[in-house]
Amino acid sequence: MTTAPVRSAPAPSAHTDVSVQVERLRRDRTRTRHRRQAWAVLTPLVLLGLWELATRVGVLDERFFPPPTAILHDSLKFAFDAQMRGELLDALGQSGMRLAVGFLIGAVAGLVVGLATGLHPVTRYALSSVINGIYPLPKLALFPLMIIFFGVGNVSMIALIALGVFFIVCINTSSGVLYTNPVYGDVATAFEIPRLVRLRSITVPAAIPSIVDGVRLGFGQALIILVSTEFVSGDGGIGYLIWNSWQVLDVPVMFVGLAIVGLTGWLVSAAITRLGNHLAPWHAE
């Protein structure tokens, strides 16, 4: 009597092992991203809860630090009161226009000059003293000069915002170009890649993470300058709303204005970071 040969199970292929490892890495990365997002949401909620508790038990003076629930209640007045809603929309419109125009001008100029100083040593040496000399100056201290040049009004405020954004974007862009891995340049030289193609396909992509950081920090600087100039000028806007609310001791409205500024900075920063992850997925967090 003959017995049938026993067939052994096929050994797992190397391709299967690699697929399992890739899937495991993908799941780990997803879990890590979810944990980070959870921390990003929970931390502000915990701080708000502590603020609410400290106010309710009397650790903080409710006249100057109203609880978050009271601020939220007062913010609803802007939605249901036509006059307050109109004032808020007018302030947001003025500030939004100044912020958008100033930020766009400063970011574009900073990107162009940053690329030029990063790529050309002569340009870098010629402008380094000017950039390093003006950048540390408090931008609000230059506001009187802007008023002398452009007069009182939106133009001087936009010019100061653009100036503040320009230096941050310029310095970060130049650093991103300068500290690009030199191996990339050696490969481009060895294959005699044209300068324009090298700039478009090697230099700029390698500097994208630094450029994105500069743009993100530049927007934060733009918000700071915007609110500061509106404090000083008293010509409307969200900064004027905050300062005027403090002067009449309407503290909840003041905190509503601060919350709008903070929320705007957070949302735009997140959008810029997401754009950077899309443009440079190899550097995404």
Output the DSSP codes for 32-43: HHHHHHHHHHHH
* Residue 228: predicted pLDDT: 92
How far is residue 51's CA from residue 72's CA, in Å, rounded to a whole number?
13
Long-range contacts of 276-280 (CB under 8 A, 24+ apart): 276/208, 276/209, 276/212, 276/213, 276/216, 279/205, 279/208, 279/212, 280/205, 280/208, 280/209, 280/212
Q: The tokens of 25 are what?
A: 């890495």
Which of residues 21 and 185 earns the better pLDDT score?
21
Q: The tokens of 88 are what?
A: 């808020």
Report whether 279 contacts 285 (CB < 8 A): no
* Residue 110: predicted pLDDT: 95
Q: The tokens of 151 are what?
A: 């007069």
Report whether 199 contacts 110 (CB < 8 A): no
19-69 pLDDT tens trace: 777 778 888 778 887 888 888 888 988 998 998 899 888 888 888 888 888
Report whether 238 contacts 260 (CB < 8 A): yes
* pLDDT(194) > 80: no
* Residue 227: predicted pLDDT: 93
Report whether 203 contacts 260 (CB < 8 A): no
Distance set, CA 41 to CA 37, 46, 91, 269 (Å):
6, 9, 29, 15
Mean pLDDT of 187-206: 76
How far is residue 189's CA from residue 181's CA, in Å, rounded to a whole number?
14
- Residue 13: enclosing H or E segment and its boundaries? none
**Amino acid letter at 194?**
P
Q: The tokens of 198 are what?
A: 């090298």
**Binning pLDDT at 50, 70 and 90, where does residue 284 land?**
low
Report whether 235 contacts 190 (CB < 8 A): no
Place of tokens 């913010």: 75
* Residue 212: predicted pLDDT: 93
- Residue 131: enclosing H or E segment and its boundaries? helix 121-134
143-159 pLDDT tens trace: 999 989 988 889 999 99
Place of tokens 């630094």: 210
Mean pLDDT of 85-112: 93
Which of residues 76 and 55 earns the better pLDDT score?
55
**Amino acid letter at 120?**
H
Q: Is the pTM of this model over 0.85?
A: no
